[in-house]
Amino acid sequence: MLRLPLLLLVLSSLARAETLTAYTALDRGEAAAYFEAFTRDTGVQVRWVRLSSGETLARVRAEKERPQASLWFGGPSLDLSVAAADGLLEPYTPKTLDTFRPGQRDAQWRWVGFSVGVLAFASNPEVLARKKADLPHAWSDLLQPPYANEVSMAYAYTSGTAYTVLATVAQLFGEEKAVAYFAALDKNVHHYTRSGAACVTQVGLAEVGTCIAFAHDILNKGKAKGYPVELSFPAEGTGYEVASMAVIAGAPQRELAQRFVDWAVSQPVQATLQRYHRLPVRDDVPRPSSLPADLKLIDFDTEKAIARRRPLIDAWREATGQ
């Protein structure tokens, strides 16, 4: 009589063991697509929570003694590097990819890249035409008089996107010139947002003429939604984020988290990044056709961006009064 309840208990335990818990900073729709694909391919269910990257870092830090999730998926490498330095992540080398480009994995394998997102300009041609302004093709274009009151971007202290913009301009032109640049840009900014992607919808609704965001957000939240939003890139070069993933230290489902990392950098999965306008971390899959082949990326120094984060944000706030 006890055999059936015992069998049910064993099966219930096995079912729980095949559920991966995860935090993600990706857009909800995109995150759901990846997690559902992982379940189809492996049979492993994923129970996940969508948080901003900063919120994820805070939660993982707060749960250090008793982790509630096993996987951190889709956060910018800048934040995962902070978590790694705090001992919050476990080293893991994916079985499906052991060679990454410089800057696309942690030196000790505590995080690895999943995709690369590049900074770009999102513009509403109709709004700019009324101001007799062309699509921006240089960082300096945004400082010109026709863009007065037509620019939007996020606060550098609330948005990973905006801090990447700040760090990019600082690494391109030097910190002193970067601070002067943002002080001048502030005169043309209509308003700031808390989220880096929020300005794309505002451009589409003609609330502002142009904004700075990641290309995948511009294409996914602009053109894909039917908004009249055009994409352009700064000729001087643009920065990028490495959307990364990691096994959380003390993960309750360590092996399932490792399995997800293996899956996410596999060739078939990396090939699907085209539909989301993200650059792959693998060299043996094609880049998205929505991004120009001659896209000029700067040699973005992640470690420097991490080390200079607080001083740069403080200088930005003083320069802009935000």
Residue by residue, pLDDT tens for the chain (322 residues) are 445 555 444 445 545 548 999 999 888 889 999 999 999 999 999 999 998 887 899 999 999 999 999 999 998 898 899 899 999 999 999 999 988 988 899 999 999 999 999 999 999 999 999 999 999 999 999 999 999 999 999 999 888 889 999 999 999 999 999 999 999 999 999 999 988 888 999 999 999 999 999 999 999 999 889 999 999 999 999 999 999 999 999 999 999 999 999 999 999 999 999 999 999 999 999 989 999 988 999 999 888 998 999 999 999 999 999 9
Within a domain: residue 286?
no
Verify that 232 and 314 share a domain, yes or no. Answer: yes
Residue 288 lies in a domain: no
User: 80 and 177 in one domain?
Assistant: no
* Cα 293 to chain centroid, rounded: 21
| This prediction's pTM | 0.85
Within a domain: 226:
yes
Domain for residue 155, yes or no?
yes
> Could you tell me if 172 and 235 lie in one domain?
yes
CB 208 within 8 A of CB 152: yes
Instruction: Confirm whether 290 is domain-assigned.
Output: no
CATH of the domain at 302: 3.40.190.10
The closest alpha carbon to 112, from 242, 241, 20, belongs to: 242
Residues 129 and 8 in one domain: no
Asked whether residue 291 is domain-assigned, the answer is no
Shared domain check, 180 and 92: no
Please tell me whether residues 245 and 234 are part of one structural domain: no
pLDDT of residue 41: 97
Task: Tell me: do 302 and 159 sit in the same domain.
Answer: yes
Residues 104, 125, single domain; the answer is no
Question: Are residues 105 and 67 located together in one domain of the fold?
Answer: yes
Residue 144 shares a structural domain with residue 245:
no
Whether residues 89 and 210 share a domain: the answer is no
H runs (alpha helix) in the chain? 3-17, 28-42, 53-62, 77-85, 125-130, 160-173, 175-186, 198-204, 215-221, 254-264, 267-271, 302-307, 309-320
> 100, 117, 5, 96: which is closest to 53 by C-alpha?
117
Asked if residue 289 is part of any domain, the answer here is no
Range of the domain at 266: 3-116+241-280
Report how far residue 205's alpha carbon sits from residue 208's, in angstroms, rounded to the nearest whole number. Answer: 8
85 and 13 together in one domain: yes
What are the C-alpha distances in Å from 42 to residues 45, 238, 259, 263? 9, 37, 9, 9
Look at residue 38 in the predicted model and tell me its pLDDT.
98
pLDDT of residue 196: 83
Does residue 192 sit within a domain?
yes
Domain count, the chain: 2
